[in-house]
Each structure stands twice: as structure tokens, then as C-alpha cells.
Copies of this chain bind each other. A is one copy, B any other.
């Protein structure tokens, strides 16, 4: 491992610096995966009888990332435009030193893209395994919040304004829904990650009639799926990966955006367990995890768009479209992996303040009951006068940021008809929750079907 001053070590990436996903997707991980692909190919060809077993064994032994200088490979990648060419040269040289005859079987029948695409799928598999586990962790916490707070009153806000009451459990159920959707998609994509082997132009020409058998053995050696055909220029696997990752980042982003807003000083309904400090303001407790997740969610869609753009891949290997995938896909894998893990932490540490929720709800919560109060008054006064009184009271409630029932309760003409208890009942937001709890149950049922041992 080079200690080149050009190395990047995550300084601008607090979302994943130091994480498991960073290790699973760094340059060294790619190097390992490329070597694993080369070794898997040799073993596959040995299985099929094309390569002597001893040569395959030797190639596998030599495909040990510790033997190679990733920086030197990176620098030599410039000549041929990809890192596989210098890596194959280096691997072949190592094998040749030990057994000159075996060297010819290195990279036999493959093209650079076969190795890099397969390696990318191996890296993706490792990242997805981490991501799926972290997403389960996050979903478990969200499910717990939905269940615990199924009756915790809070306000529903639309276009930033108080709308009608809801429960914090319903909010958590919405978060959970997004996380479950993302998990479903990630699992589908994880199971379908294909090996790539096509040779120079996708015909497996150099493997003569054994091509298909080699592909099958190769996929098995790599733990990947056998594709119907080489996908050098049919980049569905990359696009599918991109969409699943972007969905997961977006689902986490929804949670985090809500947290940043619910944690606003004036709102104060939730807080990060350990908020981040500030370089200037000692009194601040910033929603740092949520901020980093939101930041990730603002980056993922554009990365995905570059990967969708790479579907436009001409001929049997495009002059640019393939190369344009490498960095955005790795970045998206890392963003997703980091984001999901941080979202798990965020949810695990989330502090929920039902009192603050109730206090905020009371700012306008009674407004939703305006119609019910008006109906009650109208029975006595007639419709127009009743509406007039309630309208004025609502206006004052909003202006003074006081509960509607308090305003109404100050009017003797109202209290003569509706005693305090009746007024409170009419104004109680808990009476306006509709199917909030049933929806929570439906979402939790879905969760338990997916995670029977957890729910």
C-alpha cells in the first residue's frame, strides 16, 4: 500500500470515512476483487479442463493483493485506459517467476472489461451485504418508534404549515415504509448481481466451444449469477444497482430531512442523541448525522443519472460510456453504504419529545375542531352567527399562538352552551386521527412479514 501524498483518505467524506463500506469499496478492495476475478477465472477454466489445475492453483495463490502496489497499477492504468491491463501484466509476471508455463493461463480468454465488471459486482455485493444489514437495523428502530408512538399526538404539516393532527408513530411508519421499500429493492438487486465474461467482443472467442461452461463455472467461483449473455454493452445490472442505491439513499434522506426540521430550535420535537458540536458556538447541538444524510441524498440522483446515461453504449465496447461508470458507481455505493449506516445510528440515538409535540400541536391543533364547534353552536344560534364566532376565534388563536379552545373558553356566550369539558372534547386532536393507527399496523404487519424473527 502506497503512502503517496496523492492519496485520498476520506477527508471530504464524513458520511463514510472509517466505515466498513469504505474498506469494502476502496481502491484496495477493487484491487482484491480484480485479483479474485482473475483467480476465479483460472479455477473455472481448470474445472472445465482448459487450464491445468496446478496453474489455476498457482494463479490463485499469486492473486494475493498484498503482492501488488495499487498506486503503481493506478499510474500504469493511464496508458491503456484501464487498471486491468497493468494488473494482468503484474500478475503474469509474478506467476511467471514461479512457473513460466503457468503464466500463459493468466487472464485466459478474458478482456479487461470482464475482470473490472466482475470485480465491480464483487465490490457491490460486499457493499450491499453491509447496506442490507444496516437497513434492517434502521428499519427495526423505525418499527419500534412506530409501535411505541402509535398514539403519540403530533401535528401533520403540509407545505410547512400545520395541517391536521397525526401521530409520531404514523411519521415513523412512513419512514419505515421507505426503508422497507429500499430493502426489498436492494435484496432483489443483490441476488441478481451477475458475473461478466465475454472476451474481446462478447463472443468468448478465445474459449472456443467451452465458453458457456466457463462462464457458468466462473460465476460459481465468484459467487455471482450466470448472465444470459455478456453485458459489456447492455448495462442493465449497473442501472439496476444505481436505482436501488439511489432509492435507499432517498429513503434515508426522507428520514433525515424530517429530523433536521423536527429538530429545529422552534420545533424541538426530536433531537439527535449526540448532536454535533460547532467550531464557534458551544451551545449548539447540531443534527449532524441527519445533515450528512441529507447531503448524501442531494448527491445520489446525479450519480445515478450518469449511470443511466451509460446505457448509451455503442458497439461491443463503448469509447467512454463504460469508463464513465467507474467513479460514479463507486461513489454511489459508498454514499449509500455510509448513508444507511449513519441513518441507523441516527434512528438508534433519536430522542423524541412528546411534550414538545403536544405543545406545538396546541398552537393550532384546535383549529381542526373549528367545524365541530361551529356545528354545536349552530344548533342554538343558527349557522351564520356560529361560523362567524368560530372564524374570529380561529384568527385570534393563530395570531396569538394560543389553543382555539382557550380563546373560545374566554367567551361567555360560548361557555354558556359548551362547558369546558365539552369544549375540550370537541377540540381534542386525539379525536381526529382517522386511520393513523390502522396505517401503523399495516406497515408493521409488512415489516413483520419481511422480518418475522424481529417484529
Q: Which of A234, A360, A401, A436 has the most CB of B within 10 A?
A: A234
Q: How far is the CB of A4 from chain B (nearest CB, A)?
A: 6
Contact B74 A443 (CB under 8 A): no
Could you tell me the distance in whole angstroms from the C-beta of A398 to the nearest C-beta in chain B?
Answer: 7
Contacts A2-B9, A199-B434, A247-B311 known; list 10 others, CB within 8 Å: A4-B9, A5-B26, A6-B23, A8-B26, A156-B203, A209-B434, A229-B439, A257-B320, A294-B321, A297-B312
The number of times this chain is found in the oligomer is 4
A277 on interface, CB distance cutoff 8 Å: yes
Which residues of A in the span 288-316 have a Cβ within 8 Å of any Cβ on B?
A: 288-316
Stretch of A39-47, A77-85, A411-419 at the chain-chain interface: A77-85
Given A17-B77, A279-B88, A288-B159: A203 and B436 within 8 A (CB)? yes
- A residues 229-259 touching B (CB-CB < 8 Å): 229-231, 233-236, 239-240, 243, 246-247, 249-251, 253-254, 256-258
Contact A202 B170 (CB under 8 A): yes
Q: Of A51-59, A131-139, A263-271, which stretch is located at the interface?
A: A263-271
Q: Does A207 contact B (CB under 8 A)?
A: yes
Chain B hits for A1, CB < 8 A? 3-5, 7
Complex formed: what's the CA distance from A120 to B171 in Å? 24
CB distance from A293 to the nearest CB of B (A): 8
Question: Which of A18, A263, A320 counts the most chain B CB atoms within 10 A?
Answer: A320
A230 CA to B413 CA, complexed, in Å: 41
Question: Which residues of B sit under 8 angstroms from A10, Cβ to Cβ?
Answer: 6, 27, 71, 74-75
B434 contacts A205, CB within 8 Å? yes
Interface residue? A30 (CB, 8 A): yes
On chain B, the residues within 8 Å of A204 by CB distance are 434-435, 439
> Would A8 and B8 count as touching, CB distance under 8 A?
yes
Task: Give A113 Cβ to nearest chain B Cβ, in Å.
Answer: 8
A320 pairs with B443, CB closer than 8 A: no
Roughly how many angstroms separate A239 CA and B301 CA in the complex, as a whole number? 10
Q: Does A432 contact B (CB under 8 A)?
A: yes
For A436, the chain B residues whose CB sits under 8 A away are: 203, 205
Q: A88 CA to B278 CA in the complex, in Å?
A: 11
Which one of B18, B280, B292, B442 lies within 8 Å of A323 (CB-CB)? B292
Stretch at the interface among A94-102, A172-180, A420-428: A172-180
